[in-house]
Amino acid sequence: MQIGLIGLGKMGCNLALNMKKKGHTVVAFDANKAAMERIQGEGIKTVSSISDLAQALTGRRVIWMMVPAGQVVDVVLINLKNYLHADDVVIDGGNSFYKDSITRAKDLEKQGVHLLDCGTSGGVDGALHGVCLMIGGWKDAFDYCEPLLKSISVEQGYLYCGKSGSGHFVKMIHNGIEYGMMQSIAEGFELMNKHNPTMNLAAIADVWNHGSVVRSWLLELTQRALEKDKNLESIKGIMHSSGEGKWTVETALEMGVPVPVITMSLLMRYRSQQEDTFSGKVVAALRNEFGGHAVEKKG
């Protein structure tokens, strides 16, 4: 299958290589010339514009976007729409908000173009060796693209989730769950480190991954990180939020579904970015006022 790929970041670049390895013809574009040069070195054809990319494809065109969620997706689609024809398929493989994907799909349908919202999981390594895909959109467009989707996924690693927005909705929930799982792992390892700083935490992650109830890829990654840096002293404990955890919590509030673990894991990410908070000062001052508890003074 011929694929036009827009976006050659870490995920996009590895997806292009994955597609090529599986026998697909890839034509790629990125505004970053260095990224284009890197992929050219891997034997993948590049073009200098989105219009050239559309024109380089023949027959029913499939164009895969791997760009950051938000305004960038809209900018690409506004440009791309000028060169698309009825029955062409656009795949948004990024982490777009599912409501935005529904709106974009309706807009593209006006000219007979089909949008597949495709939640992509597996990280950079998965993009190269086999992803996990959650796809929403027009079923006939999915059926047409299924050979491509199946070929770049791990075994049983792709699923048609339903109407437009479904793929990105499922991926949003996936990432919300991921937030909670990572926070739980982090808290447990902090407790063990506090109990005994000389404890071999990498070995604990390893043994847990051999038959325990909590075995997981996240624990494999924990082990890998701790083997590189025993107490993670080389990095700061600042956790950034990509947006999907926030969307999960907002959606839960809209639906009236309690998600306390995911919500707290999101709030902990915000808290990690504050070295010294006014709320913390207030609580420390109150404890000192009513109970005479000592407060730490700034030097």
> Residue 242's closest CA among 159, 174, 166, 185?
174
HEC string for 252-270: HHHHCCCCHHHHHHHHHHH
User: Rounded CA gap, 103 and 93, in Å?
Assistant: 16
| 171 is known as an active-site residue | yes
**In 66-186, which ranges are E strands?**
89-92, 114-121, 131-137, 153-162
Distance between CA atoms of 237 and 44, rounded to whole angstroms?
Answer: 38
Helix, strand, coil in percent for the chain, rounding step 5 = 55, 15, 30
- Which two structure tokens, joined as six digits, stand for 114? 């089909």
Given the residues 20, 171, 244, 246, select the one marked as catalytic.
171
Q: Provide CB contacts within 8 A for 96, sequence distance 6+.
A: 69, 70, 73, 104, 117, 168
**Is 81 designated active site?**
no
Residues 16 and 10: their CA atoms lie apart, in Å, by 10
User: Inter-axis angle of helices 98-109 and 71-80, to 10 degrees?
Assistant: 10
Tokens of 100: 């935005």
Catalytic residue among 109, 163, 178, 230: 178
Q: Residues with catalytic annotation?
A: 171, 178
